[in-house]
Each structure stands twice: as structure tokens, then as C-alpha cells.
Amino acid sequence: MPLLAIALLAAGTYAFRLVGPVFRYRLRMPDRLRRLLSVAAVVLLVALVVTSALAEGHGFAGWARPAGVLVGGVLALRRAPFPVVVVAAAVTTAVLRLCGVP
């Protein structure tokens, strides 16, 4: 990860953040585009959840990680606090691996 890549990612990210606060009086984003962008964010985040839970490189990550994420997801549905969700997911995965589940 060279410095240039980090700088590009940082600059682009900051530009996305700054457009709204700077142009809010001059630009009005159409509601349709606003909705599409917010749905796009959810679509990307869910895809990131699923691929980072299931895959390691081009292959299957094994059962321990998705099982941990699933436990975290069920706890989140039951409105458990965020730290509980995170710790439960990591502990589930760690315990499964300790038991020999890949």
C-alpha cells in the first residue's frame, strides 16, 4: 500500500465529504439521485459484509467466520449493543477455530 494510494483514497474521500457542506446553497441534489445514492451505499455495504464474511481471496473463508458474523447479526436484530455484537462475533469465530472448524 504505497503512500500515493493512501493519499489518493484520502483526497477522493475528503472531496466526497466536502461537496455537500460547500455547495449546499448552490446545488440541489434531485431527490431521485439522493435516494439512489443512499440505496447504492446500502447495496455496497451489504456486499462488503457478505464477501468479507464468506471469502478469503478467491476462495471460501471457512465456516468459523460466517458463523461468527451470523451470531453478531442475530444479536443486532435483537437490539444488542454494538460492542456485544462485535465481541460475540469474534469470540464465536475464535471458539469454532479452537474446536478445529476452519
Partner 1 sequence: MDMRSFWRTLDRGTLRDIALVCLADMLVGASFGAIAVSGGLPLWVPVAMSLLVFAGGAQFAAVGVVLAGGGPAAGVVAGLVLNARLLPFGFAVADVLGDRWWTRLLGAHVMTDESVAFALRQRDRRRRHDVFWTCGLALFAAWNVAVVLGALAGEVIGDTGALGLDAAFPAVLLALVLPSLTDPGTRNAALLGAVVAVATTPFLPAGLPVLLSLAGLVLAARPPATAAKTDSIPESP
Contact between 53 and 69 (Cβ < 8 Å): yes
Q: How many CA atoms lie within 13 A of 43 on its CB side?
A: 6
Positions in 58-97 near partner 1 (CB under 8 A): 58-59, 61, 64-65, 68-69, 72-73, 76-77, 81-83, 85-95, 97
Residue 101 binds partner 1, judged by CB under 8 A = no
Q: How far is the CB of 88 from partner 1 (least distance, A)?
A: 8
Closest CA to 93 of 64, 59, 52, 62: 64
Q: How far is the CB of 15 from partner 1 (least distance, A)?
A: 9
Block residue for cell numbers 464474511: 53
Positions in 18-57 near partner 1 (CB under 8 A): 18-22, 24, 29-32, 34, 36-57
